Amino acid sequence: MSSAQSSPDPTTGAYDVVIVGAGFAGMYMLHRLRGLGFSARVYEQGGGVGGTWYWNRYPGARCDVESMQYSYSFSDELQQEWDWSERYAPQPEILKYANHVADRFDLRSDIQFNTRVERAAFDERANSWSVTTSDGKTVQAQFIVLATGCLSNARNPDIKGLENFKGAVYHTGNWPHESVDFTGLRVGLIGTGSSGIQSAPIIAEHAKHLTVFQRTANFSIPARNGALTDEERDAFRKNYPEIRRFAREVARNGIYAEQPDRGALDDSEDARRAKFKARWDRGGLTFMYVYNNLGLDLAANDSAANYVRGKITEIVKDSTTAKLLQPNSHPIGTKRICIDTDYFATFNRPNVSLVDIKTNPIQEITANAVRVAGADHEVDALVMATGFDAMTGSVAKIDISGRGGEMLNQKWAEGPKTYLGLMTAGFPNLFIITGPGSPSVLSNMIVSIEQHVDWIADCLVHMRKQGLATMEAGREAEEKWVAHVNEVAHGTLYPQANSWYMGANIPGKPRIFMPYIGGVGVYRRICDEVAAKGYEGFVTEAEVQSRRVVTG
Ligand code: NA7
C-alpha cells in the first residue's frame, strides 16, 4: 500500500498522469500508478468518490450484477474482508464500499473533488498534455487517462414546456443527496429503462399516485434479491481465485455463471420452458445465458421473449396494461435487460397507472400536468428516468485537442473511433478506460475496468523502460479495429434495437454499435497479444535525450 501523496516534478510542476474521474476506474488507476512510482493527480467533478454510484441515488437504485462479483479483485484482503449484505447491493452500500476503498488505500490525498476537467490539449513540442480545470488552473502531465464512466452524463430530454412545470423535477442520474419524500404527491415517471423499472415500485409505495409514461416497453427479469448468508459469502470467498479467473477469461460478460452449451431450438418446447422457468425463478441477468444463441438467432430469441411476455400477462391483472407492458419492438437482451423487484406487479396497485407515449408522444408539459393525446395527467413532481448520453457523453463534454489541434469531438462526429477502445489516433498518451470499442457496458464493469487499468499500467511501465515519450493508436490499426467491432456487432441481433448502445437515445447521435461484443475473454487475449508483440498497431516516439518526462 502506498500512502504518500503524489508530488509533481519539482522543476516542471508536471505530473506523470492526470486521471479524470474518481469512480471505480479512476480509483484503481490511481492505486496502480502510485504503486509503480508514477505521480498522478485525479480530478473529480463530484464531491466524493464512486462515480455513477455517487450520482445515481434514486429510490431503488442497485447494481444488476451480483455484489460478490461486482467488486474489485485486485486485493485479496479487500475481497475477503468486505461484507456485502445482499445479493444485489443497494446504491448506498456500493458507495460505502467505494469510500472504504478510498480510505483503505489512502487515495483521497491525490484526488481533487468538485473539480471538472474542462480542457485537455496535447502540446506536440513538449509531448505532454495541458489540462485545464474548472477552478481555472492548468497542469501539465505526460499522460491523461479518461476514467469518465459510460453512464455518467445524465440526459434531460427536450420536452416542450418542461420549463413551465411548477413542481420539482428530478433526474435519476443526478438525484439529490437529501432524501426526497413523495408522500401524498402525484408523481410522473418518464422512462422505463433500468432506472425507471427499479424506482417505480418504491415511488409507488409512497406517492399518492404514480403515472408511468412509457415510450418503449422493456424486458425485465426478477432480481430475487435477498440477504446474503455467511455460507454464501464464504463460498465465494473460498473460491474467489477460480471465480475471478473464470469471469475474466471464460464468461463472455465477465460474470461467473454456468455457461450455455446449446441453442434454444436444440431443446424441445417443454424442455425449453422448464429451463426458462428455472432461470426466471432463480432471477437475474443469467436468464439470457440459458442458451448460447439468444443474441444471435431471432427464432431462439423469440422463444425467450415469448416466455417473458407470458410472465407479464400472468403478473399484471389488467389485460390492457399487461399488453402495453409487453415489449414488442426489439429482441430480448438487445436493449440492456432490466432486473427488477416487483416492477410488473406494481401496475396492479390502485395508485399506479401506465400511459403509452409511443403511440402518442408527450405533447407538452404544463404547469401541473403531462399532456398526452389531449389529456392532462396531473402531477406534482416529475422523475426523469431518461438515461444518459452513454459511452461518449462524458468524454465529449471535455474539449480535447490532439496533434495539429484536431478536436476529439470533431474526429468522433461520425461515431467514436478507437483502437481496442483504449486509444484514439492523433491523441498521443491519452487512454480511455472502458471506452467505445471495448466490452465495457456489455460486461461486469469492474472486470473490464481492472483489465484496462492493468493494461494501461503495464503499458506505461513498458514506455518508461523503453524510454518512449509517446504512444498512440496507429490509423490503420484503428480502422481495422473499428471495422472488426462493427462486423462482430452486425453478426448479432443487437443493432436491431434503438438502444443507447447504438446512440439511438440521443437525437442526432450517430447510430454506431459502440461496445465490443466479442466477449471479455476474447478481448483480453487480443489486448494481451498486442502488448506481447511490442504494442502492435500503436505508434511510439522515443524520448529526446534532454527531456525525460517519466522518471523512475
Ligand atoms: P435507459 O436505459 O437509457 O432508459 C431511459 C428510458 O427513458 C427509456 O425507457 C427511454 O425510452 C426513455 N426516454 C428517453 N428519452 C425519452 C423521451 N424524450 N421521452 C420519453 N421517454 C424517453 O436509462 P436508465 O437510466 O434507465 O439505465 C441506464 C443503464 O444503467 C442501464 O441500462 C443499466 O446498465 C444501468 P426509449 O427506450 O429510448 O424509447
Closest residue by CA, ligand 1 atom 37: 216
Residue 254 near residue 73, CB atoms below 8 Å: no
Ligand 1 pocket mutation, candidates 153, 195, 329, criterion most atoms within 8 A of CB: 195
**The model's pTM:** 0.96
Query: CATH number of the domain at 155-218+335-387, please?
Result: 3.50.50.60
Domain residue ranges in the chain: 14-153+390-550, 155-218+335-387
Compute, in angstroms, the gap from residue 61 CA to the centroid of ligand 1: 14
Quote the CA–CA distance of 267 and 93 in Å, as a whole number.
41
Residues in contact with ligand 1 by the CB-under-6-Å rule are 151, 157, 159, 172-173, 190-196, 215-216, 336, 357, 385-387, 500, 505
Classify each residue of 36-65 as buried b or exposed e, where b means 16 or more C-beta atoms within 10 Å of its C-beta: eebbbbbbbbbebbbbbbbbbbbbbbbbbb
Closest residue by CA, ligand 1 atom 27: 194
Angle at 47 between CA 87 and CA 154, to 5 degrees: 70
Closest residue by CA, ligand 1 atom 14: 386
Relative to beta strand 538-542, strand 468-473 is: antiparallel
**Which atom number of ligand 1 is nearest to the Cα of residue 441?**
34
* Fold: same for 14-153+390-550 and 155-218+335-387: yes
The CATH number corresponding to 14-153+390-550 among 3.20.20.80, 3.40.50.80, 3.40.50.300, 3.50.50.60 equals: 3.50.50.60
Residues 6+ apart with CB under 8 A from 111: 22, 26, 30, 42, 43, 44, 49, 102
Relative to beta strand 138-146, strand 128-133 is: antiparallel
pLDDT recorded at residue 2? 43
pLDDT recorded at residue 543? 84
- The pLDDT tens digits along the chain (552 residues) read 444 578 899 888 899 999 999 999 999 999 999 999 999 999 999 999 999 999 999 999 999 999 999 999 999 999 999 999 999 999 999 999 999 999 999 999 999 999 999 999 999 999 999 999 999 999 999 999 999 999 989 998 999 999 999 999 999 999 999 999 999 999 999 999 999 999 999 999 999 999 999 999 999 999 999 999 999 999 999 999 999 999 999 999 999 999 999 999 999 999 999 999 999 999 999 999 999 999 999 999 999 999 999 999 999 999 999 999 999 999 999 999 999 999 999 999 999 999 999 999 999 999 999 999 999 999 999 999 999 999 999 999 999 999 999 999 999 999 999 999 999 999 999 999 999 999 999 999 999 999 999 999 999 999 999 999 999 999 999 999 999 999 999 999 999 999 999 999 999 999 999 999 999 999 999 999 999 999 999 999 998 754 444 332
Say which DSSP state 228 is in: P
Nearest to 83 by CA among 68, 101, 61: 68
**Which atom number of ligand 1 is nearest to the Cα of residue 387?**
23
Compute, in angstroms, the gap from residue 218 CA to the centroid of ligand 1: 10
Compute, in angstroms, the gap from residue 500 CA to the centroid of ligand 1: 8
Closest residue by CA, ligand 1 atom 33: 194
- DSSP SS3 for 210: strand
